[in-house]
Amino acid sequence: MKLSLLTFGLASEWPLDKIIEVAKANGYAAIEFRAEANHKHGVELESTSAQRKDIRNRLEDAYLVACCIGTSSRFESPDRAERNKQIERTRRYVELAREVDAPRIRVFGNVIPDGVDREECVKYVGESLRILGEFAEPFGVDVNLEMHGQFNFWKYALRAVEIADHPRVGIVYNCDMPDLVGGSVSATYSYVQPRIRHIHMHDLTDPFPYRELFGLLKQDRYAGYLSSEVQGGPGAERIAAYYAALFRELVARAAT
């Protein structure tokens, strides 16, 4: 398990040099860049090839990786033209990921529109993911659906990925309280575990059973990244340091 610094919330106001400095100082192994959110890091569709090469080089020089690019792409619309528009833009994010050497991007299913059959909506998302998985294959980039919004429900997220039926399509597990059954995360986790490619954590002092999750991940030899989706504000550098220290302590104490 490797800790990643997610720019959303904590580092949204930091330029790339600052993000790298804080990540290195506190033992983060990677950076997840949230795009389309007016962050200061510069990992955006508008960046030039030269800028993307510079971003990749600066990360490599710091022995860090761009583990993921978080997009705002959503595929739950019943309007095929809108879904196609989302797919076309997301293809550009696959290209961006390849240029900064990020192995994955994050996308959404999110909210089932009013009046739309749930199974039909899941099908829309799954079919869109399949198209993107096929496009991403030669780039070596995964397209991962986050368990978020109504697609936080494991059945919807898992079914969409099953419909996609592509090795480049997986799940971002989101550490959300509705995942708990009888106070435990093990049941929900067991359904989606084979599809998990990336993980978003939140406040590690929340009631969510992180130690249990870390134990399950250890048991399954999860070797991927877990990103710090936590708010920053005043004292953000100190929060980043405390977060990394608490993560390491919880992982060390998690039973296998």
Domains of the chain: 2-253 (3.20.20.150)
The rounded mean pLDDT for the chain is: 97
Is residue 216 scored above 90 in pLDDT? Answer: yes
pLDDT at 131: 98
Q: Tell me: the pLDDT tens digits for 134-154?
A: 999 999 999 999 999 999 999
For residue 230, list its beta bridge partners.
9
CA distances from 227 to 40, 113, 125, 141, 220 (A): 18, 29, 24, 18, 18
Residue 50, pLDDT > 70, answer: yes
What single letter denotes the amino acid at residue 129? L
Residue 247 sits at the vertex; the CA angle it makes with 13 and 154, to the nearest 5 degrees, is: 85
**Mean pLDDT to the nearest integer, 223-252:** 95
pLDDT for residue 187 is more than 80? yes
Angle at 230 between CA 256 and CA 245, to 5 degrees: 50
Q: What is the mean pLDDT of the segment spanning 156-164?
A: 98
- Crossing angle of helices 49-61 and 16-25, in 10° steps, is 20
Q: Is 46 exposed, middle or buried (0-12, 13-18, 19+ CB in 10 A)?
A: exposed
Whether pLDDT at 31 is above 80: yes
Indicate whether 233 pLDDT > 90.
Answer: no
> Does 232 have pLDDT greater than 90?
no
pLDDT over 80 (residue 98): yes
Mean per-residue pLDDT for 109-134?
A: 97
Whole-angstrom Cα distance, residue 57 to residue 51? 10
pLDDT value at position 74? 97
Type of residue at 105: I
Q: What is the model's pLDDT at position 256?
A: 65
Is residue 234 very low, low, confident or very high in pLDDT (cuts 50, 70, 90)?
A: confident
Q: What is the mean pLDDT of residues 81-96?
A: 98
Task: Find tokens 């990992």 and name the residue.
Answer: 43
Confidence at 132, pLDDT banded by 50, 70, 90: very high
The residue type found at 79 is D
How far apart, in whole angstroms, are the C-alpha atoms of residue 180 and residue 188?
7
Angle, CA 91 vertex, CA 85 and CA 96 arms, to 5°: 130
Over residues 196-217, mean pLDDT: 97
Integer angstrom CA distances of residue 67 from 32, 56, 252: 6, 11, 23
pTM: predicted TM-score of the whole model, two decimal places: 0.97
Mean pLDDT throughout 22-34? 98
If you search the block for the tokens 């100190």, which residue do you land on?
238
State residue 65 phi and psi, 5-degree precision: -130, 155
Inter-residue contact 207 to 177 (CB < 8 Å) = yes
Mean pLDDT for the stretch of residues 10-34: 97
Sorted by sequence, the CB contacts under 8 Å of residue 30 that are 6+ apart come out as: 2, 3, 4, 5, 23, 64, 65, 66, 67, 225
pLDDT at 223: 97
pLDDT above 70: residue 54: yes
